[in-house]
Amino acid sequence: MAQPGIRATQIADLIRDHLAGWIHRDFTGFFVSVNQITLSPDIKNATAWITVYPENKQTSVLRDLKKNSRKYSSELRKVIQRHNVPVLDFAVDTSAEDEARISELLK
């Protein structure tokens, strides 16, 4: 996979920072972390990789985020100085669990 350019990295960081604040505002009673934003090469699509604690809330939080993705895209249009704002998608980040599973297998 090619490394993202400086501009794509800046856009991803900007999306992550703003999205994390909005999610913190909208989801109370549990912890939702925006770990990473991945962008398509043309910067038309963005995936927000999230972690939810407690884990039993992951499905409902992911469903609500996907349902509200247009609202977050609309808010992004107000802060990102670009003609086109990436279409947002959300996914649960399982990298920590994957890493723990691999470490356990290697023992």
Q: Residue 57 is part of a domain; what is its CATH number?
A: 3.30.300.20
Identity (one letter) of the amino acid at 31?
A: F
Q: Is residue 31 part of a domain?
A: yes
- Give pLDDT, residue 83: 74
- Residue the block writes with tokens 């490394």: 3
Q: Is residue 1 part of a domain?
A: no
Q: Is residue 53 part of a domain?
A: yes
Split the chain (107 residues) into runs of 10 and give each run's mean pLDDT. 69 94 91 94 93 90 94 90 86 73 69
Q: Is residue 50 part of a domain?
A: yes
CA distances from 95 to 22, 29, 77, 90, 102 (A): 23, 24, 29, 15, 10
Tally of domains within the chain: 1
- Give pLDDT, residue 1: 45
pTM for this prediction: 0.81
